[in-house]
Structure formats: structure tokens, C-alpha cells
């Protein structure tokens, strides 16, 4: 078999159903084999779209996403998507062509040192120098991407390696001596955690993306209900616990709910599960949760005590550890007063907005939630649209909220929604977008239309780069430096690609437009002309403690 054939054969054996990518000179042998391979290939219109689509597919399905691009510019166009997957611990395998082995380092046409470029933004990467290593490398790549704390792995394959003919040997096992993730939590630490929980009066569970990765939602719910602790979550944790549950506090941090932030600050015990105390969560770190002891469950030892001092670290898989912890807990804390206090905060300081004559973006999200019954997959771009989508949709299940958390990549949502829809064709998939973000990967309209990937894009069109404008309003004396946008006619634009477009300017038309968009068997852009200077509240200014909110309770 040739290297290219080996690649396809290995991908099939790894269970890959779909590849997102873009052809080019250095991957011609691979594309020649793809031509009659029984793996679905989706031709995106930009390599960045392919990387985000693979990422969105992985988030929606839990499987490893695969993207493919040529050398040089093809590969460098993947890098934003790779960095995005790295920051959010998403399993992606990126395959890139490379110039012929003997030309590497020669400034050959379309050459870039891709393993060099992606070294700090991949969990691991490989340059294949011998075709005999190819099968082993592919196996290792999938193993590394999907186990431990997941992440992207890149395989750079020179053209001549793709062409070389050898006997194919499938490595039955993977053994990497430097890579042995810890899955089982230390029993002594779990015992200590159970004891600490028994003594807590004001416990709070702080859940992150790790809960979703490990599939620990049922155990998390069981823990919350057993110890009667409220649950708050990070942006990445959205969906890990039902927003409709009585113990749910919603998201915490910079744009978290007032009651989640106050509960965190007042708590005497934080049980952190698969979350990393990111600066958007903690705000000013030396003022963060001053009364709380911290139990931190995480599969990545380097997350522990990185930002916040941890009293009881437990390294391992969240699901395993929560199961053990549930067995270990026999004494249950009395949290009734605590829950009453939280109920009072919830009643007094709910999320809110005011109608000022134009459509409220928050209202659009509420309506999408009502129309879909909280059953849709919601992808987002980055900025105000993302925060409103996080705050106002009631997510009930893991893997239904798909958003660029760590890297904050504008242009992520649309291709990610596309990837999610490919992975979950039975689901309604929305991309909640801003008029700025949607233009960053708008070329994927062609991909959606050609492949009949029906994604509904709700553009919250305020004519601004809304979040930056909000900061300029609040902290830069309303000097709107380069945040006002001139936009195309999104309806005509969608139609020119063969998609459908709907424009909505009145509140009463919001719901019918959403219903209509869902009914149309096509990708639809809904251009919601919204209140231009609406802000996301509550908001914790950068560098403040998280209970010092604007638009929350001070």
C-alpha cells in the first residue's frame, strides 16, 4: 500500500466517518485515494472552516474530529482552529501535507515548518519521515487526541511519504512510555474530600468542560442532589447540568449570574470538577472566594493550584472520581439555610433586560429556546452574541452548547455549527452570531448549501463589534474606535449562495421568523436588526472581584 492508502485505511480503522478539508499540491496522493474511499469528505471553502468544523463535530459527538489541508498556507490556515481546539481540550486530528522530504528546510514552494508552528498549540505533533512509521503515528495521534485531557494532534506528511509503497501493518496496541494519563482518583484524597464536604455549610459545585469530556453529567447531578449543593458552571461547562434544575445557578464569572457569583464568593467549600479557574471565572484572584476551601478534581495535574490554591487536589477522570466520591460520602451537610439565601438572591437579582423599542438580542435567544424547547444544539461566535447565548438559552444536556471558550475565536461558530450538524444530523443546529463574527467564515455558506448541511444562523445585527463597543462605552468614554461596521445585506448574501435569508426588524416577528427558519429545508440566515447599544449584564470589570458587578447587585 502507498502512504496515502495507509492513511485512509488507518482512518477507517480509527472509526473516522467524516473528514473536513481542502485539497492542494502536497496532498494530491491522499485526495486521489479519497476519491474512491468510503469516508465522507466535506470540502470547506477555507481551511480554517475545516479545522473549526472538525472541532464542532468533536464537541457535538464526543468523537475525534479530523481535518485535512495541504502544506504551507493550507496548514497555516488551520492553525487558528488548532489553537482553538487546544485551548478548549477538544480531540482533533489535523493532517497536513508537507513538501517532499528532501526539500524540507529548502524554502520550497508552499513550505512552512508546520510542526514548528503548531508545537505550542497542539497536544502533540508529528512529522512523518519514514513511511514505516505512518500507521503507528496515526494510531498514537488518535490515542493522544482522545485520552487524558484531550486536545489536537497534528500529523505532517511529506508528499513522497504519501507515495511510497510498503506492506501495511496495523499496530494492534499503542504504548507511549511518556504518556500515561491518570484516570483513577487517589482513594485517600477522595476520603478527605468526603470529610470536608460533610463539614461544609455553604458548599458550591463549580463544573467545567471536563465534566462534559468525561461524560460525568449523571454523577455530577447525583452529587449535587445528594449533598444539596448549588451548581454553577463555566462557559465550557454549559450543558453539564440542566439549567432548569432547582440547584442550578447558571454560569459564573465575568458575565455570570449575580447569584452564581455571590454564591461562589460566600461559599465555604468549592468543589471544582473539570474546571481550571480561568481569569474570566475568578476575576481578581486575591479576592476570589475568600472563605472557601477548595476540592479540585481534574485529569490534568498542571491545572491544579495553577491559579487558586487547592486544599484537596484529586487527579483523575471526573466521572470515576465522582462515582467514588458518591460512595464515600455518608454524612450529608445541612445546606438548607444556604439554599434559602441563594433562592432569595435568585428572586432579587434575576437576569434581566429592558425593552427599548428595538428587538432585544436576549429576547431572540429566549425565543430560540422556547421554539426549540431547549433541545437544539447552539453554536456561538464570540462576543456579546456568545454571552447572550450562554445566559438566555436553557441548556439541558451536555454537548448542546458549542462555543470558543479559551481562545475566543470570532468566526468559530458557523463552521463549528456545520460540523455539529454533520455529526448530529437529527438535531436542529443554530449558530448565534454577531454581524462582525459571521463575516469571519461566511464562505462556509457554500459548504452548507452544497452538502445540504442545514444550519440556522441567527445574526444579532447591531452594526457594531458589540462586545468591544461595550468596553469602549464603559471604559473608554464611548470613543467607538473602529467598532462600527458597514455590513452587506445578509439576506441577499445568503440567497446568492443558494441559502435562504429572512430579515426581522420587529419584536413580534422574531418568533415566526425562527419557526419559519426551522421549517425551511435549507441553511437560513436570519438577520435580526437588534438594539444597537445593548450591553451584556451583569458584567465584572477586568481586574475586579466577581461580586463587584455592573448591572448585578453591588
Residues that bind other proteins (CB under 8 A): 115-116, 119-120, 123-124, 127, 144, 176-179, 300-302, 305-306
Between residues 95 and 248, which has the closer beta carbon with respect to other proteins? 95
Record the cell numbers describing residue 530, joined without a space: 437588534
3-state secondary structure of 361: helix
Between residues 302 and 352, which has the closer beta carbon with respect to other proteins? 302
Q: Residue 506 class from Cβ within 10 Å (0-12 exposed, 13-18 middle, 19+ buried)?
A: exposed
For residue 527, list its beta bridge partners: 459, 503
The single-letter DSSP state of residue 155 is E
Between residues 4 and 154, which has the closer beta carbon with respect to other proteins? 154
β-strands 40-43, 18-21: how paired?
parallel
Between residues 209 and 434, which has the closer beta carbon with respect to other proteins? 209
Q: How far apart are the first and last CA of the chain?
A: 67
The minimum distance between CB 275 and other proteins, in angstroms, equals: 17
Between residues 179 and 480, which has the closer beta carbon with respect to other proteins? 179
Between residues 123 and 262, which has the closer beta carbon with respect to other proteins? 123
The minimum distance between CB 412 and other proteins, in angstroms, equals: 23
The minimum distance between CB 189 and other proteins, in angstroms, equals: 17
The minimum distance between CB 298 and other proteins, in angstroms, equals: 11
DSSP string over 174-224:
---TT-----SPPHHHHHHHHHHHHH-SSEEEEE-HHHHHHT-HHHHHHHH
The minimum distance between CB 78 and other proteins, in angstroms, equals: 19
Output b/e per residue, 230-243; b: 16+ Cβ within 10 A. bbbbbbbbbbbbbb
Record the cell numbers describing residue 383, joined without a space: 462576543
The minimum distance between CB 177 and other proteins, in angstroms, equals: 6
Between residues 113 and 533, which has the closer beta carbon with respect to other proteins? 113
Q: What is the 3-state secondary structure (H, E, C) of 448-502?
A: HHHCCCCCEEEEEECCECHHHHHHHHHHCCCCCCCCECCCCCHHHHHHHCCCEEE
The minimum distance between CB 291 and other proteins, in angstroms, equals: 22
**Rounded Cα distance, 158 and 13, in Å:** 22
Record the cell numbers describing residue 237, joined without a space: 461547562
Amino acid at each position: 500500500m502507498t502512504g496515502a492508502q495507509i492513511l485512509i485505511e488507518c482512518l477507517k480503522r480509527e472509526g473516522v466517518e467524516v473528514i473536513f478539508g481542502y485539497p492542494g499540491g502536497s496532498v494530491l496522493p491522499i485526495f486521489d485515494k479519497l476519491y474512491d474511499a468510503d469516508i465522507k469528505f466535506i470540502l470547506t471553502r477555507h481551511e480554517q472552516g475545516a479545522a473549526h468544523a472538525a472541532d464542532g463535530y468533536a464537541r457535538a459527538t464526543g468523537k475525534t474530529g479530523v481535518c485535512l489541508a495541504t502544506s504551507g498556507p493550507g496548514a497555516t490556515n488551520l492553525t487558528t482552529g488548532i489553537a482553538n481546539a487546544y485551548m478548549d481540550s477538544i480531540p482533533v486530528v489535523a493532517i497536513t501535507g508537507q513538501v517532499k522530504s528532501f526539500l524540507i528546510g529548502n524554502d520550497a514552494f508552499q513550505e512552512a515548518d508546520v510542526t514548528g508552528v503548531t508545537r505550542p498549540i497542539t497536544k502533540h505533533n508529528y512529522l512523518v519521515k519514514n513511511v514505516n512509521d505512518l500507521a503507528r503515528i496515526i494510531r498514537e495521534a488518535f490515542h493522544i487526541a482522545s485520552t487524558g485531557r484531550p486536545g489536537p494532534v497534528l500529523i505532517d506528511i511529506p508528499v513522497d511519504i504519501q507515495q511510497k509503497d510498503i506492506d501495511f501493518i496495523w499496530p494492534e496496541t499503542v504504548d507511549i512510555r511518556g504518556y500515561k494519563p491518570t484516570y483513577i482518583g487517589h482513594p485517600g484524597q477522595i476520603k478527605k474530600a468526603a470529610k470536608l464536604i460533610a463539614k461544609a455549610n455553604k458548599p458550591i459545585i463549580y463544573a467545567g468542560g471536563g465534566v462534559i469530556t468525561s461524560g460525568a453529567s449523571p454523577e455530577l447531578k447525583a452529587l449535587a442532589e445528594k449533598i444539596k449543593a448549588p451548581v454553577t458552571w463555566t462557559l465550557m461547562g454549559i450543558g453539564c447540568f440542566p439549567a432548569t434544575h432547582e440547584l442550578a445557578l447558571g454560569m459564573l464569572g465575568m458575565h455570570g449570574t449575580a447569584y452564581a457569583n455571590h454564591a461562589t464568593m460566600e461559599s465555604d467549600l468549592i468543589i471544582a470538577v473539570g474546571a481550571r479557574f480561568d481569569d474570566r471565572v475568578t476575576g481578581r484572584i486575591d479576592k476570589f472566594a475568600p472563605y472557601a476551601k477548595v476540592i479540585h478534581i481534574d485529569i490534568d495535574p498542571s491545572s491544579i493550584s495553577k491559579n487558586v490554591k487547592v486544599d484537596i487536589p484529586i487527579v483523575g477522570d471526573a466521572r470515576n472520581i465522582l462515582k467514588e466520591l458518591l460512595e464515600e460520602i455518608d454524612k450529608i451537610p445541612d445546606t438548607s439555610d444556604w439554599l434559602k439565601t441563594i433562592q432569595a438572591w435568585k428572586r432579587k437579582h434575576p437576569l434581566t433586560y429592558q425593552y427599548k423599542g428595538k428587538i432585544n438580542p436576549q429576547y431572540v435567544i429566549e425565543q430560540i429556546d422556547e421554539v426549540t424547547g431547549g433541545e437544539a444544539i447552539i453554536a456561538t461566535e464570540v462576543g456579546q452574541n456568545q454571552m447572550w447565548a450562554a445566559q438566555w438559552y436553557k441548556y439541558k444536556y451536555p454537548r448542546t452548547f458549542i462555543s470558543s471558550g479559551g481562545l475566543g475565536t470570532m468566526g468559530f461558530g458557523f463552521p463549528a455549527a456545520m460540523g455539529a450538524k454533520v455529526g448530529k444530523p437529527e438535531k436542529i443546529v443554530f449558530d448565534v452570531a454577531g454581524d462582525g463574527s459571521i463575516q469571519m467564515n461566511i464562505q462556509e455558506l457554500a459548504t452548507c448549501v452544497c452538502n445540504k448541511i442545514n444550519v440556522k444562523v441567527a445574526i444579532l445585527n447591531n452594526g457594531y463589534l458589540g462586545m468591544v463597543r461595550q468596553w469602549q462605552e464603559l471604559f473608554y468614554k464611548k470613543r467607538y474606535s473602529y467598532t462600527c461596521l458597514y455590513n452587506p445585506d445578509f439576506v441577499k448574501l445568503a440567497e446568492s449562495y443558494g441559502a435562504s435569508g429572512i430579515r426581522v426588524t420587529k419584536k413580534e416577528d422574531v418568533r415566526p421568523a425562527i419557526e419559519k427558519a426551522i421549517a425551511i429545508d435549507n441553511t437560513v440566515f436570519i438577520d435580526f436588526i437588534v438594539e444597537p447599544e445593548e450591553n451584556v449584564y451583569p458584567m465584572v470589570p477586568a481586574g475586579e472581584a466577581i461580586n463587584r458587578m455592573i448591572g448585578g447587585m453591588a
